[in-house]
Amino acid sequence: MMLAIPSSLSLSCCCPKICNANVRMHLTSIFLILITFLASLRYVTTYPLYSVLVLILFGPVLIITTLIHECAHLCMSRWLLLERTDTQTEIMLWPLGGYHYCDGLSASSVAGERSGSRGTLKADLLIALAGVLSHGPQGLFWFLIYLSINSGQTSDFEFRTYFTIISSGPQGFFSTVCEQSILLNILLMWFNLFLPVYPLDGGRIMTSAMLLMGVALNKAALLTMLITMLVSLVLFVMSIISFIDGIGISGTFGFLLSIFAVVKCYQLYFMITGGRLRDHKLFGRACYINRVSRPGLFQLSNAARMASTAEGEDDQEDQREDETMVPTETEAGQSSR
| Strand-pair partners of 23 | 15, 91
Q: How far apart are CA 194 and CA 201, in angstroms?
A: 9
pLDDT tens digits, one per residue of 127-147? 889 989 999 999 999 999 999
- Cβ pair 183, 159 in contact under 8 A: yes
Q: How far apart are CA 109 and CA 181, in angstroms?
A: 38
Q: Is residue 184 part of a domain?
A: yes
Which phi-psi region, left, alpha or beta, contains residue 93 (left: φ > 0; alpha: ψ -120 to 50)? beta
163 exposure class (CB count in 10 Å sphere: 0-12, 13-18, 19+): middle
Angle in degrees, 0-180, between the axes of helices 135-149 and 62-79, rounded to the nearest 10: 140
What is the model's pLDDT at position 149?
94
Q: How far apart are CA 274 and CA 333, in angstroms?
A: 57
What is the model's pLDDT at position 61?
93
Alpha-carbon separation of residue 199 from 59, 97, 187, 226, 282 (angstroms): 22, 10, 16, 16, 7
- Cβ pair 206, 216 in contact under 8 A: no
| Strand-pair partners of 97 | 94
What is the model's pLDDT at position 237?
85
3-class DSSP state of 137: helix
User: What is the 3-state secondary structure of 242-262?
Assistant: HHHHCCCCHHHHHHHHHHHHH
Q: How far is CA 167 from the centre of its chain?
A: 37
What is the model's pLDDT at position 109?
31
Q: Is residue 328 part of a domain?
A: no
Q: Is residue 325 part of a domain?
A: no
Element (H, E) at 94: strand 89-94
Angle in degrees, 0-180, between the axes of helices 62-79 and 121-133, rounded to the nearest 10: 150
What is the model's pLDDT at position 294?
45
Q: Is residue 112 part of a domain?
A: yes
32 exposure class (CB count in 10 Å sphere: 0-12, 13-18, 19+): buried
Q: How far apart are CA 16 and CA 28, in angstroms?
A: 19
Q: What is the pLDDT along the chain (337 residues), one digit of tens a residue?
A: 544 444 444 445 555 666 677 777 777 777 778 877 887 888 888 888 988 998 999 889 988 998 899 888 888 888 876 655 455 567 777 766 666 665 555 443 333 333 343 457 788 888 889 989 999 999 999 999 999 999 888 888 888 777 888 888 899 999 999 999 999 899 889 888 877 776 678 888 888 888 888 888 888 888 888 888 888 888 888 877 776 765 555 566 677 778 888 888 888 888 888 888 888 877 877 777 766 444 443 344 444 445 445 545 555 555 555 555 545 444 444 444 4
| Strand-pair partners of 101 | 3, 90
The total of structural domains in the chain comes to 1
Q: Is residue 173 part of a domain?
A: yes
Q: How far apart are CA 152 and CA 47, in angstroms?
A: 27
Q: Is residue 321 part of a domain?
A: no
Domain that holds residue 6: 2-314
Q: Is residue 221 part of a domain?
A: yes
What is the model's pLDDT at position 204?
83
In one letter, which amino acid is 250?
S
Q: How far is CA 23 from the centre of its chain?
A: 18
Alpha-carbon separation of residue 234 from 179, 195, 208, 266 (angstroms): 24, 11, 24, 17
Angle in degrees, 0-180, between the axes of helices 170-194 and 135-149, rounded to the nearest 10: 160
Let me know the angle formed at the C-alpha of 183 by 206 and 71, rounded to the nearest 5 degrees. 55
Q: Is residue 320 part of a domain?
A: no
**pTM to 2 decimals?**
0.70
Name the nearest CA neighbour of 4 among 289, 290, 282: 282
